[in-house]
Amino acid sequence: MMSSVPRPGRTYSLRDFALIAASCILVYIVGFAMYLAGSVAPRADRLRDDTIPVLALFEELSGRADRIERAITQAHGVTAGGSSTALDSLRAFIVASGRVEPALVAYAPPEMRGALVRAEALTSSIETKLHELVANVELGRTGEALLLLDQVHSIQSEVGQVLVDAERIGLRELSAREQALSSAISSAITLVAWWVVVGVMLVVVLLATVQRLVQRPLAQIEGGLNRVSQGDLNARVVVYRNDELGGLASHFNEMTSVLRARAEEQGRFAAAGQLIAGVAHEVNNPLMAIASLADTRLEEPDLDEELRGELLQIRRQARRAGKLLSGLLRFVRASELPSTSLSLNEVIRSATDLVSYRFSVEEVTLVERLDPFLPPALGGVGRLEQVFVNLLSNAVDAMRGAPLPRVLEVETWCEDGRVCVAIADTGPGIPPEMEHRLFHPFATTKGASGTGLGLYISRQIVREGGGDIIYEPAAAGARFVLHLPATPITVVPLGDTAPRTGESDRRGLEGIRVLVVDDEDAVRAPIVKYLMRRGAQVSEAKDGLEGLEVLERNPADVILADLRMPRMDGAAMWARLNETRPELAGRTIILSGDLSQLDGRLPVPQDRVLVKPVELKEIEAKIRSVARHAERQPASRL
Amino acid sequence: MLSPAKQIAVCVMSLAVVACEPRAGTAVIGYAYQPFPASDATLRAARDAVAETAGSHHPDLIVQILALDSTPPFYSAIELAERLTAIPEVVVVVGHSSSRTSLAAAPVYNAAGIPQINAHATSRLLADVGPWTFSLPPDDSTEGAFIAQFAADELSARNVSIFYENDEYGTGLRAGTQAGFQELGVTVLDQVPFDSESNFDVLLRASLRRGIPDVLVVAGRQVATARIALLARELSPETRLIAGDGALVLPELADLAGPAADSLYVVSSWVPGGADSASLDFVERFRRVNGRVPLAYEALGYDAIMTAVAAIRDVGPHRRRIQRWLLDLGDVRPAIDGVTGRIEFQDRNTPRLVMARIEGAHAVPAVAR
């Protein structure tokens, strides 16, 4: 179960922050524009709208006043004795003069309206009086005409004064409005300046918030990722907020927790593997002793049949245990073995042996349909064995608790140049929601007991070999199919690389002097006894140092030495011989209980290493081979 | 807390409820008039009609007529208009009493969105002063054309003179009449402006020296018209007088004109004696409330007020809806039958004008149009 990291209380998410920030910016910009449009522009428009009619009014009044003045001038002329043409002209002029639109007065300031109306009325009065003046002149009533002219002048003066007053009022009004506009502009400038300041502050706050909400958490996560990439799985990042980045940080912490747990688990597995390798190595010696003793007794001619049967059983079980231990060692050290051309059938059988102990317990029936003509494939034996152990174990686990019969089918065949293996079970199958995640890391159907890495690693191993594993839903249960490219390279037999011997050479070991060096009496004694029975002259020692001393007294043709011994192990002994007596080093056979010693770690040539448990006949054959080889060399005998 | 969608739905439903019941409330008709007997009589008759018909309409709708003095100087009309627009219950205004005051106040009403129904002003400038000013009487051009046509057709005038009061009414009617005569090929011998201080004797004599007109058109009010009529009867008895509707104030015109009244033709929007039900009802009501037969001036005022009442009772006390109602009158909404004829405010409107003569203290049709 992934560890849960406590998160801070609910806060605004980054999306909320982005929305708020965008809204603030929008309000700022729109408000700014609206203020300009709603405050300054309308005032300017109002001033313009108020000013234009007033100016138009003045213009009209001035125009009218000008016309009246011209008419008065003409009236002077006609009063002083103008022609009828002049009279007609003046009359027409008066009739043609227009009037001020009363509607314009509505836009004038209240104080001006009275003056304007008064001016308009006086002007109209002048017009009618001028017309009456003309009528009097036409009727020869010059006196009345002159009186009217005086009245006209008087009214004209009054009109002038009224217009001056109206103009003063109007200018005062316009000035006041202009000042109001200037004040509004000043206010607007001030407000704009403050608005800009607010905008700058907004930007600063925004940047600071972004730094706090985004940059800092991102830097934390980046630092954590760097530490993880450098191998520090204890890296954790601080979860500042319960937002998107906080969620990312939390997931990062959870991820590293999982990785750490898996790494620890893998470490435990590796340690367990080491332990198993060590135990297997130690168990190999007693197994070899058991098998060797059984072999030795079986050589006796007068053996009771019942006893012979029991000894055979003892030897068989010892060899079987040894084989299992070899497979276990191979499984544990799978990654250390090189890729070779191999038979998948043999790898499958070896993997099946490793998990076979579960078949009876889980009531699983194994059905094998292995193609006997299956071409070899290229791959790492141990790693592929690991893959099949994983698939077989998964199948057995899947059938746990399933109704009987529980059948585990293993099938091999060749198709289109590829070697195929199918492993199927009759369990409940894979849940549909898990199918697409089967080969993903940490995907497991086994709950806390599963690492979720088996299929992922298995697929990786197979893909490295140019193949793949696929899952095929079956009518009942699950079916995994693995395929690898077939190769024509000669198959190297599974297990140790030592050449196998079929039957013992009937010639025995007559005339061969053998030094057996092994610290365990239970292992050494049966070998000595067997070799002597086969005609060899055998001397023995318990460690490398003693062995060298014995060699001084009793020369040997072949030296058989265990690898792990106190005081001086087999490898050190060989190294000493290689320095002082290289001919003897070339005739030294090392007995090792560890399969990994075949990968070239020992200074001893590979063909001089035998891996326990080894049959006595095999030892005999090896000794004979080494001795024969030595005979062909010059100065081979000591 | 309701979701935003539900809140919007509630608001829409509330608005719908309000919209479905628009006619409740108090509606005030602003009556801007000049306080003289004709206006007072109109007001009494209108209030009588509103009170009598209130029961047949929405019980929660109250219609009131607020009468305010619109006496010149005309700039006070602006102030009066501003006062009326400041009253929220004022949804429509009837007035003002003259072309000058109507023109002065119209921009204020239009800016406030208050419909203005003009009952008496004939200045054609009222057609362009704003979208919410509606005129019942015909404008100067229409009246001028009517006068010109009558003079040419009925009085066989070949040359005329025009005496006009030097204000918005007089100058407007002069222009309309002059255009009408020009179109009919009638010669305008003289155009004489006058005001209350003018010496009509001098003006008339001087004008007659320039030519004796077949018809003398007076675009003025009752006092000036009466004085000119008396002088013309003495100085040029053959000359016929035609006066504009502004002079038809009875019995004052008849009293002032004296013996000259018989030869006087006066333009009128209406004369009593019509057989239509609207006229009959109006005459009966007016006689009952005021004790006399109504004048054309009063009929126009009454029609204007009752048009406003009809709009309010139809769409409720809402300025915008009344605007729309008046605009649609005669278009998507059928014209209403007023005392002075069909009331509508479309361009194709053909107002009814009557040329009347004075008999006693009453106006009677000389020629019906």
For residue range A389-404, what is the model confidence (pLDDT) as tens digits? 999 999 999 998 888 8
Q: Does the beta-carbon distance from A102 to B103 stay under 8 Å?
A: yes
Identify the DSSP state of B333.
B
pLDDT in tens, A78-114: 888 767 777 778 888 777 766 656 656 666 776 777 7
Residue B205 at interface with chain A, using a CB cutoff of 8 Å: yes
pLDDT in tens, B34-69: 766 777 889 899 999 988 887 776 777 778 888 877
Preferred mutation among A50, A89, A94, A113 to probe B, highest tally of B CBs within 10 A: A113
Nearest-by-Cβ selection for B75 from A114, A127, A141:
A114
Q: Is the pLDDT of residue A336 over 80?
A: no
Query: For position A638, what pLDDT does the model report?
Result: 43
Residue type (1 letter), A198: V
pLDDT in tens, A420-461: 999 999 999 988 888 888 888 766 766 656 667 788 889 988
Which residue has 């009802």 as its token pair? Answer: B281
Query: For position A5, what pLDDT does the model report?
Result: 46
Query: For position B17, what pLDDT does the model report?
Result: 56
Q: Does the beta-carbon distance from B191 to A95 stay under 8 Å?
A: yes
Q: Is the pLDDT of residue B13 over 70?
A: no
Contacts of A24 (CB under 8 A, 6+ apart): A202
Average pLDDT score over residue span B73-102: 84
- Residues present in chain B in total: 369
Q: Does the beta-carbon distance from B202 to A132 stay under 8 Å?
A: yes
Query: For position A189, what pLDDT does the model report?
Result: 81
Query: For position A594, what pLDDT does the model report?
Result: 63
**Cα–Cα dist A326/A613, whole Å:** 9
Average pLDDT score over residue span B175-190: 94
Strand partners, B32: B68
Contact, B65 vs B29, CB < 8 A?
A: yes
Q: Is the pLDDT of residue B260 over 60?
A: yes
**Cα–Cα dist A273/A275, whole Å:** 5
- In this prediction, residue B302 has a pLDDT band, given cuts at 50, 70 and 90, of very high
Q: Does the beta-carbon distance from B194 to A128 stay under 8 Å?
A: yes
User: Of A154-158, A163-167, B39-43, which range is least confident?
Assistant: A163-167
Q: Is the pLDDT of residue B265 over 80?
A: yes
Q: Is the pLDDT of residue B147 over 60?
A: yes
- In this prediction, residue B11 has a pLDDT band, given cuts at 50, 70 and 90, of low
- In this prediction, residue A499 has a pLDDT band, given cuts at 50, 70 and 90, of very low
What is the percentage of chain A residues whose pLDDT exceeds 90?
A: 25
Average pLDDT score over residue span A223-245: 86
- In this prediction, residue A382 has a pLDDT band, given cuts at 50, 70 and 90, of confident
A31 versus A552: which is more confidently predicted?
A552
Query: For position B121, what pLDDT does the model report?
Result: 86
Kindly report each contact of residues A178-186 with a partner whose C-beta sits within 8 Å and lies 24 or more positions away, as own/partner: A178/A47, A180/A43, A180/A47, A181/A43, A181/A44, A181/A47, A184/A39, A184/A40, A184/A43, A184/A44, A185/A40
Query: For position A153, what pLDDT does the model report?
Result: 92
For residue B169, list chain A residues with Cβ-Cβ distance below 8 A. Answer: none
Residue A559 at interface with chain B, using a CB cutoff of 8 Å: no
Instruction: Give the Å distances, CA to CA, from B252 to A530, B244, B341.
Output: 168, 15, 26
Residue B194 at interface with chain A, using a CB cutoff of 8 Å: yes
- In this prediction, residue A370 has a pLDDT band, given cuts at 50, 70 and 90, of very high
Q: Is the pLDDT of residue A190 over 60?
A: yes
pLDDT in tens, A15-68: 888 888 888 888 888 888 887 777 767 777 776 776 777 777 777 777 877 888
pLDDT in tens, B88-121: 999 999 988 888 788 888 889 999 999 999 998 8
C-alpha triplet A549, A550, A552: angle, nearest 5°:
70
A50 versus A554: which is more confidently predicted?
A554
Residue A134 at interface with chain B, using a CB cutoff of 8 Å: yes
Residue B73 at interface with chain A, using a CB cutoff of 8 Å: yes
- In this prediction, residue A3 has a pLDDT band, given cuts at 50, 70 and 90, of very low
Among A210, A246, A248, A191, which residue's Cα sits nearest to residue A20? A210
Which residue has 């059905």 as its token pair? Answer: A367
What is the overall mean pLDDT for chain A?
A: 82
The reply to whether omega before A566 is within 30° of 0 (cis) is no
| Cα-trace Rg, chain A | 58
A23 Cα to chain B: minimum distance (Å): 19
Query: For position A496, what pLDDT does the model report?
Result: 45
Q: Does the beta-carbon distance from A106 to B78 stay under 8 Å?
A: yes
Average pLDDT score over residue span A1-21: 65
Average pLDDT score over residue span B14-18: 55
pLDDT in tens, B133-142: 999 888 888 8
For residue B108, list chain A residues with Cβ-Cβ distance below 8 A. Answer: 106
Q: Does the beta-carbon distance from B206 to A136 stay under 8 Å?
A: yes
Query: For position A24, what pLDDT does the model report?
Result: 85
CB atoms within 10 A of CB A563: 24
Query: For position B163, what pLDDT does the model report?
Result: 97
B301 versus A65: which is more confidently predicted?
B301
Strand partners, A406: A364
Q: Is the pLDDT of residue A277 over 80?
A: no
Q: Give residues 75 to 94 of A whose Cβ lies within 8 Å of B.
A: 94
Q: Does the beta-carbon distance from B195 to A125 stay under 8 Å?
A: yes
Q: Does the beta-carbon distance from B194 to A103 stay under 8 Å?
A: no
E strands present in A143-186: none
CB atoms within 10 A of CB A137: 26
Q: Is the pLDDT of residue B18 over 70?
A: no
Average pLDDT score over residue span B291-304: 90
C-alpha triplet A25, A27, A32: angle, nearest 5°:
100
Q: Does the beta-carbon distance from B171 to A99 stay under 8 Å?
A: yes
Q: Is the pLDDT of residue B369 over 70?
A: no
Pairing of strands B116-118, B90-94: parallel
Classify residue A14 as exposed, middle or buried by CB count within 10 Å of its CB (0-12, 13-18, 19+). middle
CB atoms within 10 A of CB B26: 14
Tokens of B68: 């305010």
